[in-house]
Chain A
Amino acid sequence: MTLMALLGDYTLQNVALGALFLGLISGVLGSFAVLRKQSLLGDTLSHAALPGICLGFIVTGARHMGSLLLGALFTGTLAALLVMALTRYSRLKTDAALGIVLSTFFALGVVLLSYIQGTGNAAQGGLDAFLFGQAAATLRSDLWVMAAITAIALTLVGLCWKEFKLVCFDPGFASTQGLPVLLLETVLTVMIALAVVVGLQMVGVVLMAAMIIAPAVAARQWSRRLEVMVPLAAVFGMVAGLSGALASTLGRGLATGPLIIIVVSLLVLASLLFAPGRGLVWSWLLRLRQRRELHHQHVLTTLHRLASRHDDHAFYAEQGLLEGVHGTAVRPALKVLAQRGMVTLSTQASRQPRYWQLTLEGQQEAERILTALERGGANS
């Protein structure tokens, strides 16, 4: 298939659109979850959606996107409230509460799923596809539901932007300003359940956790401003969704959900390594440069000390002596220092071994370093 034929493909259009919606909503809402240190709530809520899907099916007896998602939203919200109740009214820690709700709700979903399969309802086919998602089976009608949910969530975020921002960064201050913090936090949590609902069709309940976390973490590396981070997370989410959906058309057995997760993980890795300012590569390079600079200063002060010990500012130090002090790494250091005009090789070029001498500039630089060192030592 050529690219144009690929883009004209009806199923692929649906999958691509669905992936875009998923990336958009999970990137935006995930940003708030990650900033509020509630990343794993997405994991719990997505697992907790399974019994809801089954309940929706049992009640309506058909595979209607709307009713299934309503069920998922219901159990997802219930799960979020249970996590809050367990952490507030028992001595369990948050992570235990998350794990408990995640596994027991999922178990309930498994039981309901097996019950449905036992009843032999012909429409049940593909219900367990929600475990891993079933992007290829996305219908136009599903897309409308996903679009509506995304629109609702984005509108809410747009309307309550300032409030959400304050609740994320300083809930204490938010409540002194008279904001209903508990309500806002509940709304943010329920909206994560909304994002999960959109993702169920695309990536399934198990991998949804990564869609909440990964785009937000990647975007966080690039900016410290929420106004930049949230749109960027949405873009990362959409890029991952789209490329995962496209990549899955390349061959049989390439499931969309796992591919989307792999792409988004690569985005996170690239951001962690190369994001300007925060990127690990840049800080490694910076540390390397600093270490080298420190070594140069060491060599310079050694030469200076040797000179002052001999009361001869034009003292020639033998390279072997310097190597004895600093190791053979002194050779490149001397070369760099010579380029900067801090040291010079003995003018008698024929002399072997080599002898090094501080220039006037090098002498001043060494004195500057030593006085700075002394002052720092005195201060501390």
Chain B
Amino acid sequence: MMAWLDDPGTVIMVVGALVGMASTLVGTFLVLRGTSMLADAISHSIVFGIVVVWLVAHVQSGPLQIFGAALTGILTVFLTQALIHSKRVKQDAAIGLVFPLLFSVGVLLLNLYAGNVHIDTHTVLLGEIGFVWLDTVTLGGVDVPQALLAMGGMTLINAVFVGLFFKELKLATFDEALARALGFAPGLLFYGLLFLTSGTAVAAFDAVGAVLFVAFVIVIPASAYLLTDSVVRMLGYGMVMSVVASVAGYALAVRWDVSIGGMMAVMTGIFLLLAFLIGPRHGVVAQVLVRRGQRGLNETRTLAVHLYNHEDSHAQQEENVVKALREHLHWSDGRARQVILRGLDQGYITQAGQMLNLTATGRALAMELLNAHERGR
């Protein structure tokens, strides 16, 4: 039953999917709150935490390491907030001041004690998901990869947190003032969320490093956000995307012999691009289509109102002909032809020679618009 643990490819894909899932659970709320770049800051500054925890306690994995190193994430957020509250630095600049410093100190310590620490500066940024199956611990007689345990644990913890506080998180995200008024301590909740984000970043560190983690925690929820308005569905889509990104990224990376973690992160970028371009309702293409449909409807209405106004008047012979559309509505021939064809198709008008006549539905359309206009006065 545990045979899949012996297959490196499967372990890598499962770890990748778990990184995505754990990140999606917290990242969804970060993206919705407009604090995505805090995730970037946290993922950089945990490098400092990981090095310090190693130097102090000589642990490089396990709950203690995750907890200890995740404190640096909270430190980053705290320092950033302190800078903002000093009113000397704007929010965006404050974020960009704190994490490079912590990251620099981390890298320097890493260089100075390079002989003792298991990570080199290269893995700091990129991680090495390709080797996660090598580092195992024995659990109940089975060799289980360390990263699998850590990511599985973090996914579980994040899921429990989001499950328990789902209503509160939603409220604090969309209406912080109301959440505070109802006594839900949105600030505390936010810090909890960021602490779990830090923990997830630490757990995912060996697999994907500091920067690629950002792709999982921001890009996947952002793609889901472009597809739906419901938080539950956002989380669901995020889970699916995590799995697909992991599997497809692994397959492509093996095929082209390139970085596995990098390819998984590139996949999330492709999801985002697709959601941005062809997503329903919010996608660029959908928006263009909606706009075009509205313009068409507008033109049909204009034509109907024009015909209605001159119906049964002595100018009817002059106004309600194809030629008049160009002069009176300033439409080009091509455009006029399109509008007439559409009107004929949709049954709003009939054509007899050059004369255009409204049908009953066409008249209803014109009157509906004119009545609405009258009421508007």
Contact = CB atoms under 8 A, between A and B. Distances in A.
Interface of A: 34, 37-40, 42-43, 47, 86, 89-93, 95-96, 98-100, 102-104, 106-115, 118, 128, 131-132, 206-207, 209-210, 212-214, 216-217, 221, 253-255, 257-259, 261-262, 265, 268, 272, 278, 280
B149 interface: no
Contacts of A118: 257-258
Nearest to B211: A106
A253 B86 contact: no
B130 to A, nearest CB: 10
A216 B261 CA distance: 35
Given A107-B269, A110-B212, A253-B114, A265 B37 contact: no
Interface in B220-256: 222, 225-226, 253, 256
Nearest to A260: B104
B334 interface: no
Interface in B270-324: 272, 276, 282, 284, 287
Contacts of A47: 211
Contacts of A111: 253, 258-259, 262-263, 266
Interface in B90-127: 90, 92-93, 95-97, 100-101, 103-105, 107-108, 111-112, 114, 121-122, 125-126
A-B residue pairs, 8 tightest by C-beta? A104-B269, A107-B265, A110-B262, A210-B100, A258-B104, A114-B259, A103-B215, A103-B214
Given A92-B222, A131-B122, A209-B100, A34 B282 contact: no
B122 A128 contact: yes
27 contacts: A37-B92, A91-B225, A92-B31, A92-B222, A93-B36, A95-B37, A99-B37, A100-B36, A100-B272, A106-B211, A106-B214, A106-B265, A108-B262, A108-B266, A110-B126, A110-B212, A110-B261, A110-B262, A111-B259, A114-B262, A209-B96, A209-B100, A253-B111, A254-B111, A254-B112, A259-B108, A261-B104
Contact of A210 (B39, B97, B265): B97
A255 B37 contact: no
Contacts of A92: 31, 222, 225-226
B206 interface: no
Nearest to B219: A100
Given A128-B122, A221-B88, A257-B104, A206 B262 contact: no
A96 B262 contact: no
A43 B211 CA distance: 12
Given A92-B226, A103-B215, A42 B96 contact: yes
A161 to B, nearest CB: 22
A268 B94 CA distance: 11
A217 B262 contact: no
Contacts of A42: 96
B96 A39 contact: yes
B198 interface: no
Contacts of A213: 93, 96-97
Contacts of B211: 47, 102-103, 106-107, 206
Contacts of A89: 276, 284, 287
B103 A206 contact: yes
Nearest to B89: A217
Contacts of A278: 88
Given A95-B36, A255-B108, A255-B111, A114 B100 contact: no
Contacts of B376: none
B218 A280 contact: no
B97 A43 contact: no
B92 A39 contact: yes
Contacts of B34: 93, 95-96
Contact of B97 (A108, A109, A214, A257): A214
Contacts, number: 200
A224 to B, nearest CB: 12
Contacts of A43: 37, 40, 96
Contacts of B121: 131-132
Given A107-B211, A131-B122, A261-B100, 20 more contacts: A39-B93, A40-B92, A89-B284, A93-B34, A95-B92, A99-B40, A99-B219, A103-B211, A106-B265, A110-B259, A111-B263, A132-B107, A206-B125, A207-B103, A213-B97, A214-B97, A217-B93, A217-B97, A261-B101, A265-B100
Interface string B10-25: 0000000000000000
Nearest to B252: A111
A225 to B, nearest CB: 17
Given A96-B222, A114-B262, A206-B211, A258 B105 contact: yes
B263 A100 contact: no
B342 to A, nearest CB: 27
A272 B101 CA distance: 15
A107 B107 contact: no
Contacts of B265: 103-104, 106-107, 110
Contact of A103 (B83, B218, B226): B218
A131 B125 contact: yes
Contacts of B88: 221, 272, 278, 280
Nearest to B276: A90
B44 interface: yes
A96 B258 contact: no
A107 B93 contact: no
B197 interface: no
B197 to A, nearest CB: 13
A100 B215 CA distance: 7
Contacts of A257: 104, 107
A37 B90 contact: yes
A255 B282 CA distance: 46
A142 B262 CA distance: 29
A288 B215 CA distance: 47
Given A40-B92, A111-B259, A255-B111, A91 B282 contact: yes
A156 B236 CA distance: 49
A207 B114 CA distance: 20
B40 A258 contact: no
Contacts of B263: 107, 111
B104 A95 contact: no
A38 B37 CA distance: 12
Nearest to A128: B122
A102 B258 contact: no
Choose among B39, B83, B104, B276 the residue with the greatest number of A CB atoms under 10 Å from its CB.
B104
